[in-house]
């Protein structure tokens, strides 16, 4: 029986690459989506090209009932979830002076409360199985802070606290919980930046390039593997040395 990985926000970008990477390893995959579109179809097709199953479940991570239903549907189909990757996330960048309350709340609701909503519904299944891996996608700015990202940095710092606390709660049950903190990764999220800014950022990174989604997926794969069985409660930066 194949292992099962549930990756949120996997219709594109980092999440999609994580899902494809797990599919290459022979995992059956579950991904969620908010609206059916071409991106979702492409992601499903690219995952299934690896001869594994890909279940797609409709649900917004910021909605608890949606998450409850998504997890129910995954368990109904596969009977278990071995690996959960909380990857869904958004940015709404602006200086605090200009930030609307809704911009702060929506980023916290999706990035941080979303991580709670999904994990809360998955954890009882992992507890019963006495095994599981949870990998939360944070960000280097959750550690360092970043002007224009008070909402996003707070959500990503919150994910780190959540990760460490949960790791302490469930370690004795065979469940390992870690966070990955990417630096600047080339996806639609960072595509909004002007080319000059991207070049400046790349220059400031010790390895002199922005990361690609596969750089993050490789570390997530490691954290789900038997090779990382003595690692929990950690934050692994994948940032070309940006933060050290």
Residues lying near ligand NAP in the complex (CB under 6 A)? 8-9, 11-15, 32, 34, 60-62, 87-90, 110, 114, 137, 139, 182, 184-185, 187-190
Q: Of the two residues 75 and 108, which places its CB atom closer to ligand NAP in the complex? A: 108
Cα(5)–Cα(85) distance, integer angstroms: 8
CB of 216 to ligand NAP, least distance (A): 7
Distance between alpha carbon 59 and the CA centroid of its chain, in Å?
Answer: 15
Does residue 152 carry a catalytic annotation? yes
CB of 43 to ligand NAP, least distance (A): 8
Active-site residue (options: 27, 33, 78, 152): 152
Query: Measured on CA atoms in the order 140, 145, 148, 153, is the torsion positive or negative?
Result: positive
CB of 199 to ligand NAP, least distance (A): 15
Q: Please list, in sequence order, all residues whose beta carbon lies within 8 angstroms of the beta carbon of residue 146, skipping any fewer than 6 positions away.
A: 152, 153
Q: Are 150 and 102 in contact (CB under 8 A)?
A: no
Q: Of the two residues 79 and 206, which places its CB atom closer to ligand NAP in the complex? A: 206
Q: Of the two residues 28 and 60, which places its CB atom closer to ligand NAP in the complex? A: 60
Q: Which of 182, 177, 71, 72 is nearest to 118 (CA)?
A: 71
Q: Of the two residues 21 and 62, which places its CB atom closer to ligand NAP in the complex? A: 62
Query: Measured on CA atoms in the order 43, 81, 73, 121, is the torsion positive or negative?
Result: negative
CB of 141 to ligand NAP, least distance (A): 7
Q: Which residue has the tokens 């097709």?
A: 45
Residues carrying an active site annotation: 152
């Amino acid at each position: 029986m194949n292992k099962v990985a549930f990756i949120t926000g996997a219709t594109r970008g980092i999440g999609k690459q994580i899902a494809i990477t797990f599919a290459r390893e022979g995992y059956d995959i579950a991904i969620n989506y908010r609206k059916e579109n071409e991106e979702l179809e492409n992601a499903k097709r690219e995952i299934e090209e690896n001869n594994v199953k890909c279940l797609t479940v409709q649900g917004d991570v910021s909605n608890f009932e949606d998450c409850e239903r998504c997890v129910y549907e995954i368990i109904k189909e596969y009977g278990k979830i071995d690996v959960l990757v909380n990857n869904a996330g958004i940015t709404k960048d602006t200086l605090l002076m200009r930030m609307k309350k809704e911009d702060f709340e929506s980023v916290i609701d999706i990035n941080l409360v979303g991580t709670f909503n999904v994990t809360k519904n998955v954890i009882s299944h992992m507890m019963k199985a006495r095994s599981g891996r949870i990998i939360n996608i944070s960000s280097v700015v959750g550690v360092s802070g970043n002007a224009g990202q008070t909402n996003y940095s707070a959500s990503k710092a919150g994910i780190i606290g959540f990760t460490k606390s949960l790791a302490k709660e469930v370690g004795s049950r065979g469940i390992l919980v870690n966070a990955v903190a990417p630096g600047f990764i080339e996806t639609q999220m960072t595509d909004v930046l002007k080319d000059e800014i991207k070049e400046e950022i790349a220059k400031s990174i010790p390895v002199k390039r922005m990361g690609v989604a596969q750089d993050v997926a490789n570390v997530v794969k490691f954290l789900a593997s038997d090779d990382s069985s003595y690692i929990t409660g950690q934050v692994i930066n994948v940032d070309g040395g940006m933060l050290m």
